[in-house]
Amino acid sequence: MPYRRAMALCPVRSAPNPSPLALCPLRFALCPVLFIREAIVQTLIYFILVPMVYIAFATFFIGTTLRLIKIFREPKHPAPLQVYPEKKPQWLWALHDTFLFPSVRRHKPVLWIFLMAFHTCLLFLIIGHLELFGEIAIFQIVPHEIFLGQGYIGLILAVALLYFLFRRFSSPVRDLSVSEDYYLLILLFLIVIFGSQMDWARRWYGYEEMMVEDYQAYLWSLLTLRPDLPVAVTDSGHSFMLVLHIFFANVFLIFFPFSQSIHSFLSLPMNKLRRG
């Protein structure tokens, strides 16, 4: 593959009837340079799409597990003292607080709308990525194509992330923000925008060089530990978007265990603790 593409770019080989001027030593010397450059690019693409994916998932699972073990081994929070505790289904209330954000709805309704839109679309996006591994009957109760939302899921996610980012540039949110908050939101936005571009190109622009089957073949090869990159993955107009999408997703997975994002695993237990 690198050789073919480099030869296609070579000023000598690409000319149908090369003139003596085209065969001058300077231009001829560019062929090895192009070949080396193409080989480096292809090696980098392979590293991002295969080894870095395994590294990212290993870091995510091992790092998150160790972080949670450390958190749960810390001294227990004392039980709340209630004179006449009222019996309630506390786990149901904890689920309500975790997924519906009632306190945010009461005090910041605009933020609540964006939070609900973001988390709902994120759920649909996760379902879409799971369906890339094959048909899952429970998800097809309502028949649909992969991905859900006809491209609008990614658009809503991108708008929501921009809202979360820009609101941190004004007080009082800015005073409570740290650098990690900005880095995380920018990283998530880059993941979403490059991933959505592939879906938009296929659905809205009729640019179908890379089909869902190509993604499935690539992901299945990773899952079965027999990595293989279909030609459509590495040699189509979508390639650079896919590589950037996966690169930023890898960075996020590596960063996750050491960031505030770990709170997503702790929201339900903390709400249960708060409810008593």
Q: Domains of the chain by range and CATH?
A: 2-43 (no CATH), 99-275 (1.20.950.20)
Percent of the chain with pLDDT strictly greater than 90: 30
CA 119 to chain CA centroid, Å, is 14
Would you say how long the chain is, in residues? 276
- pLDDT tens per residue, range 111-126: 999 999 999 999 988 8
Report, as an integer, the average pLDDT of 73-83. 60
Helix (H, G, I), strand (E, B) or coil at 242: helix
Q: Check pLDDT > 50 for residue 249.
A: yes
pTM: 0.78
- Which tokens hold the place of 23? 């065969």
CA distance 229 to 45: 10
- The neighbour count for residue 65, using CB atoms within 10 Å, is 11
pLDDT value for 113: 94
Average pLDDT over residues 169-176: 85
Q: Report d(CA 175, CA 128) in Å as an integer.
A: 37
Residue written as token pair 């010397």: 29
pLDDT digit string (tens) for 36-48?
Answer: 877 888 889 999 9
User: What rounded mean pLDDT belongs to the chain?
Assistant: 79
pLDDT band at 81 (very low <50, low <70, confident <90, very high): very low
Tokens, residue 122? 């994120």
